[in-house]
Amino acid sequence: MHYRTLGRTGVQVSTLALGAMNFGQIGRTTQDEATAIVDAALEAGINLIDTADMYGQGESEEMVGKAIAGRRDDLVLATKATMPMGDERNHRGSSRRWLVTELDNSLRRLGVDHVDLYQIHRWDPTTSDEETLSALTDLQRAGKIRYFGSSTFPAYRIVQAEWAARENHLSRYVTEQPSYSILQRGIETHVLPVTEQYGLGVLAWSPLASGWLSGAVRAGQEITTSRATVVPARFDLSIPSNQARLDAVEKLAKVADAAGLTMIQLALGFVTAHPAVTSALIGPRTLEHLHSQLAAADTVLSADLLDAIDEIVAPGTDLAPAEKFDAPPSLLDPSLRRRLA
**Annotated catalytic sites, by residue?**
55
Angle 244-181-309 from CA coordinates, rounded to 5°? 65
Q: Among residues 317, 320, 318, 310, which one has the least CA distance to residue 242?
A: 320
* Beta-ladder partners of 117: 78, 147
Phi/psi of residue 84, each to 5°? -60, 135
Question: Torsion-angle region of residue 218: left (phi > 0), alpha (psi -120 to 50) or beta?
Answer: beta
Buried (b) or exposed (e) across 328-338, using 16+ Cβ within 10 A?
Answer: beeeeeeeeee
Phi/psi of residue 148, each to 5°? -140, 155
Q: How far apart are CA 103 and CA 101, in angstroms?
A: 6
Return the beta strands (E) in the chain as ranges: 3-5, 12-14, 16-19, 48-50, 76-81, 115-120, 145-151, 175-177, 201-204, 279-282
Distances (CA, A) of 338 to 154, 213, 330: 21, 38, 9
Cα-trace Rg, the chain = 20
Cα-Cα-Cα-Cα torsion 231, 240, 19, 327, nearest 10 degrees, comes to -100
